[in-house]
Structure 1
């Protein structure tokens, strides 16, 4: 499942994720499941038809990522693989950064990060000129809805309905991991 929250120049995408690392660190060989949230730039395209046509909107370059992951071998809610990527090199994330507070209470940590947009943008090195002046306030106002979506996805992951291995999808819903 994918949720997208768009503002003028930045957006937040949140989805469930089942991930098998092709080159895992020692002790992290098992697949991971959970929820991924990314802060992204949005690109608005030119109209493709007349003045009433829909405008293309691309969810573009990633800026920051949080992976609320746990190994599939662990109990739901362990968050033993939870980390974030405070920077990207183009489309590739930097190294995983494990933070004790993030693993202890992922939703609270995420809420704090998203609630202080100015500090988050400074942390990731994004110039305020790269986004619309209204984006920080608009993102801050949407934090309750974003966190609610994260919580619903986590509930689905912990219930075994989301972030399942390919081929293990519940009969009632085919799964595609978007991020």
Structure 2
């Protein structure tokens, strides 16, 4: 499940995410927030017709992740990606402060999230909605996901991505196969 905060030219997507570190097979999960650009769509139908909304080009991402080999709420893998090249994120920038203090400050000044220009009205609207966006992220934090089955229920749409990760592991011998089992089952 994803929450979408859709503005005039951008949207913020909030969800729970699960991933496997490709180097040492440790497991990470928690809240993911992405700032994405909306792709303009041709108007269709009458004045009452529903219009397409295409949320596509990623601009910025925050991953407020715990490592599963640590205590809940450890945020040992909390990081952000300040830009994207096409769909690919930049390198991780690990957080230097507590995520629930860092995120409201970032959203209060959304123009600081990306070098790409945001419209004044999108900046104003995101800033106004910052508390609601943070609350949505808190509801998808690692501490709110207490089992592999629950984590899978929140991320089952990412099954193919987990399979890509499983195929690319450098140390599959270190993988907690029991925890990954829900994503490993055939569709």
Q: TM-score, normalised by structure 2?
A: 0.76
What is the RMSD computed on CA atoms of the aligned residues? 2.5
Q: 2:73 is matched with which residue?
A: 77
CA distance in 2, matches of 1:174, 1:61: 21
CA distance in 1, matches of 2:83, 2:75: 21
Q: 2:15 is matched with which residue?
A: 15
Quick one: which of 157, 162, 166 aligns to 1:176? 157
CA distance in 2, matches of 1:51, 1:30: 52
Displacement of 1:108 after TM fit? 1.2
Q: 1:29 is matched with which residue?
A: 25
CA distance in 1, matches of 2:150, 2:62: 16
Does structure 2 retain, via aligned residues, the 8 Å contact 1:14–1:37?
A: yes
Quick one: which of 116, 128, 138 aligns to 1:126? 116
Runs of 4+ in 1 over 4 A off after TM superposition: none
Q: TM-score, normalised by structure 1?
A: 0.79
Give the number of the structure whose residues are more often helix, by fraction. Answer: 2
Displacement of 1:151 after TM fit? 1.1
| Number of equivalenced pairs | 160
